[in-house]
Amino acid sequence: MILYYAITTLHAIVCVILVLVVLLQSGKGADLAGAFGGGATQTAFGSRGPASFLSKMTTIAAVVFMITSVSLSMISTKREASKSILETTTQESAQPSQKKPSAPIAVPSKEQMRRAQEEAEAKHKQQATQPSAPQQQPASKPTK
């Protein structure tokens, strides 16, 4: 665990250093001639002369950044992979429930269903044959 925090701290410091070193460097054609196209004589992959201190620092910081990134990735993956699916589930879901069995649901027979249907149809016919009571309309408001 201490190793994880140490690598994380080193990674954060290297990130800040890498950003600062890259921003401090000047481009290839940063002189006055480069502004007017005079730097076009440089080759793309040719020699650039001796490397400056900032370019060496950039290379070192980039290598350390990559190493710490891979290390943090491996540590976090190992930490998650060490737990099995059985360890992550709760014990309650692993054990069968201890509920009391409920009373069985009574299923009506065909005869009971037929009788209930006939009663419902008779009730519906009776409501349809009875004359409906006249609906009372709300009293209108007296006008002034």
Tokens of 119: 């009663």
Tokens of 100: 């009391």
pTM comes to 0.45
Per-residue pLDDT reduced to its tens digit, 42-100: 555 655 667 788 889 999 999 999 999 999 999 888 766 666 666 666 655 555 556 66
Contacts of 71 (CB under 8 A, 6+ apart): 7
Tell me the CA distances in angstroms from 105 to 40, 88, 98, 99, 101, one per residue in order. 90, 37, 20, 17, 12
Whether pLDDT at 139 is above 80: no
Supply the DSSP string of 97-127, one letter for each residue: P-PPPPPPPPPPPHHHHHHHHHHHHHHHHHH
| pLDDT-above-90 percentage for the chain | 35
State residue 30's pLDDT score. Answer: 54
